């Protein structure tokens, strides 16, 4: 691209910031909310990933008038009828990674069907208009945690085609399967098109 695209990533989650920056590479300059001097927690009151992503991006665009994007990601487990889904980050009462993982394992006790998928929705506000991008990674939930990298449900999730959990992978290995990368690649392609590049 002829110059770096600058935009705000509407999140306070540094893990997500690091992962998105790694995927985007040098063509884009991304500011997190902290980088942009915005110190607010945006509520996620809705019952779909799409609506929560839209909530975050529209709030930040209204505050700044700067092109921005947000994402919401959920783990959708087949045997739990799509749960924890939109409530993935708040699945357990303690809302910690450890608490959420423990509740998921408890909920799946005795279940032979452990298929699941991570689904990411990115909401981009570009020139005042919203565009949505989706990324999906299918896989399976283990019966015990493995690995210490990543965040969230990464220690329990093995993507299809892999032999390790996300938490056992390097960031480059995770990017080969990542739902977040798939959605981000669609975002990148859109932005390149807007900048007149294929």
DSSP-derived pairing of the beta strands 129-141 and 115-126:
antiparallel
What is the set of active-site residues? 72
In terms of pLDDT, which residue wins out, 48 or 192? 48
With a pLDDT cut of 70, the percent of the chain lying above it is: 95
Average pLDDT over residues 160-185: 94
Question: Tokens standing for 100?
Answer: 């959420």
Q: Is the pLDDT of residue 158 over 70?
A: yes
Q: Is the pLDDT of residue 163 over 90?
A: yes
What pLDDT, on the 0 to 100 scale, is given for residue 196? 59
Burial class (CB in 10 A: 0-12, 13-18, 19+), 150: buried
**Cis amide linkage into residue 84, ω under 30° from 0:** yes
Residue-wise burial string across 30-47, b where 16 or more C-beta atoms lie within 10 A, e elsewhere: bbbbeebebeeebebeee
Q: Is the pLDDT of residue 195 over 70?
A: no
What pLDDT, on the 0 to 100 scale, is given for residue 5? 61
In terms of pLDDT, which residue wins out, 161 or 35? 161
- Residues 124-138: tens digit of each pLDDT: 999 999 999 999 999
SS3 95: coil
**Angle formed by the axes of helices 179-194 and 14-24, to 10°?**
50
What pLDDT, on the 0 to 100 scale, is given for residue 3? 43
Phi, psi of 153 (to 5 degrees): -90, 10
What pLDDT, on the 0 to 100 scale, is given for residue 122? 97
In terms of pLDDT, which residue wins out, 195 or 106? 106
Q: Is the pLDDT of residue 2 over 70?
A: no
- Residues 34-85: tens digit of each pLDDT: 988 998 888 888 999 999 999 999 999 999 999 999 999 999 999 999 999 9
Looking at every residue in the chain, the average pLDDT score rounds to 90
The answer to whether the Cα torsion of 172, 178, 181, 185 is positive or negative is: positive
- Residues 138-153: tens digit of each pLDDT: 999 999 999 999 889 9
For residues 71 and 52, give the distance between their C-alpha atoms in angstroms, rounded to a whole number.
8
- Residues 79-121: tens digit of each pLDDT: 999 999 999 989 998 779 999 999 999 999 999 999 999 999 9
């Amino acid at each position: 691209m002829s110059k770096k695209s600058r935009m705000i990533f509407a999140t306070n989650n540094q893990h997500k910031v690091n992962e998105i920056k790694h995927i985007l590479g040098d063509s884009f300059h991304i500011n997190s909310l902290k980088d942009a001097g915005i110190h607010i927690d945006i509520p996620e009151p809705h019952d779909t990933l799409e609506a929560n992503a839209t909530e975050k991006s529209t709030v930040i665009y209204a505050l700044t008038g700067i092109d921005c994007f947000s994402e919401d990601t959920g783990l959708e487990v087949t045997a739990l009828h799509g749960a924890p889904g939109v409530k993935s980050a708040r699945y357990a009462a303690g809302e910690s990674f450890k608490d959420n993982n423990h509740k998921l394992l408890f909920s799946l006790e005795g279940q032979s069907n452990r298929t699941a998928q991570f689904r990411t929705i990115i909401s981009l506000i570009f020139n005042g208009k919203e565009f949505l991008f989706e990324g999906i990674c299918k896989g399976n939930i283990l019966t015990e945690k493995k690995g210490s990298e990543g965040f969230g449900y990464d220690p329990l999730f093995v993507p299809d085609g892999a032999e390790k959990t996300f938490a056992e992978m390097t960031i480059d290995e995770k990017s080969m399967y990542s739902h977040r990368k798939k959605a981000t690649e669609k975002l990148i392609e859109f932005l390149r098109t807007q900048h007149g590049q294929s």
